[in-house]
């Protein structure tokens, strides 16, 4: 893992700060943009592989949520950032998918980056993925490398259910709900690992073998990765509770 990280860092050697270079895998997912615009009384969704396909021709009142899956098209990310006046340093952090979870304030928006955990039933382990949010007064931009189903219930609720809290609140409440969904999946992964730890404990007691040591080391390494992904989020959330981008209504949550 260290060698892969060093090779990624080598891509940026000699480049000035704010240089947009995708630091993930060469090919993860063809970029897909989903745009959901909503207010208390209405909601609409468009999607496409380019901004011209996905963005509505006419800006309507309410909140606009733009979700980008697939980050290798740097030009697309830069074009979107230009439309929403996003600083080059933020673009650099979006494309550097090995960021530590953090929150940064910029003029006109708040940048939030977190780690998502995905459990694989086939491999019986989890993987981590960075997700980045750019929160503005009436918009939210979200970016990630792979296709995501975690937010599907929220998206469906926004489109199909009127007279609900999500449609009545602003973009700050939307990003809270998305972060809450991410945290919910932390518990799924922790529960799965807990089951594995209990199984190993039983094996060690009833049938101790030398290969048990390798299993214990693997589980210990996985727990360290989870800690590195989750622990910094405490600091990030603490920052958000004090930030003026969030209304008093959302801060309670």
Query: 63 — phi, psi (to 5°)?
Result: -105, 135
- Predicted confidence at residue 204, as pLDDT, reads 85
- CA dist 78 and 15 (Å) reads 17
**What is the model's pTM?**
0.86
- CA dist 145 and 239 (Å) reads 26
- CA dist 147 and 29 (Å) reads 8
**pLDDT by position in tens, the chain (length 253):** 444 544 555 455 556 666 778 877 656 567 899 999 999 888 999 999 899 899 876 677 799 999 999 998 999 999 999 999 999 999 999 999 888 899 999 999 999 999 999 998 888 889 999 999 999 999 999 999 888 888 999 999 998 887 788 999 999 999 999 999 999 999 999 999 999 999 888 888 888 888 788 888 889 999 999 998 888 888 888 888 888 888 889 988 8
SS3 for 73?
A: coil
Largest CA distance in the chain: 67
Query: Which two three-digit tokens encode residue 221?
Result: 């390494």
Closest of 130, 118, 106, 124 to residue 22, by C-alpha: 130
SS3 for 116?
A: strand
């Amino acid at each position: 893992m260290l060698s892969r990280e060093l090779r990624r860092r080598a891509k940026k050697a000699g480049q000035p700060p704010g240089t947009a270079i995708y630091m993930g895998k060469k090919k993860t997912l063809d970029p897909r943009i989903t745009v959901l615009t909503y207010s208390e009384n209405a909601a609409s969704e468009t999607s496409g592989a380019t901004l011209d396909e996905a963005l509505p021709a006419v800006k309507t009142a309410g909140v606009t949520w733009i979700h980008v899956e697939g980050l290798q098209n740097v030009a697309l990310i830069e074009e979107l950032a230009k439309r929403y006046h996003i600083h080059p340093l933020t673009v650099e952090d979006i494309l550097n998918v090995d960021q530590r979870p953090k929150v940064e304030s910029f003029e006109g928006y708040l940048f939030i980056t977190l780690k998502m955990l995905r459990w694989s039933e086939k491999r019986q382990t989890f993987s981590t993925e960075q997700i980045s949010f750019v929160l503005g007064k009436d918009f939210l931009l979200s970016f990630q490398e792979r296709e995501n189903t975690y937010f599907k219930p929220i998206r469906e609720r926004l489109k199909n259910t009127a007279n609900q809290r999500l449609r009545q609140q602003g973009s700050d409440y939307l990003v809270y709900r998305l972060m809450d969904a991410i945290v919910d999946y932390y518990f799924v992964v922790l529960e799965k690992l807990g089951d594995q730890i209990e199984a190993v404990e039983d094996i060690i007691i009833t049938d101790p073998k030398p290969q048990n040591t390798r299993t214990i080391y693997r589980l210990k390494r996985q727990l360290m990765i989870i800690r590195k992904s989750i622990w910094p989020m405490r600091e990030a959330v603490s920052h958000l509770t004090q930030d003026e981008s969030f209304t008093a209504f959302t801060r309670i949550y």
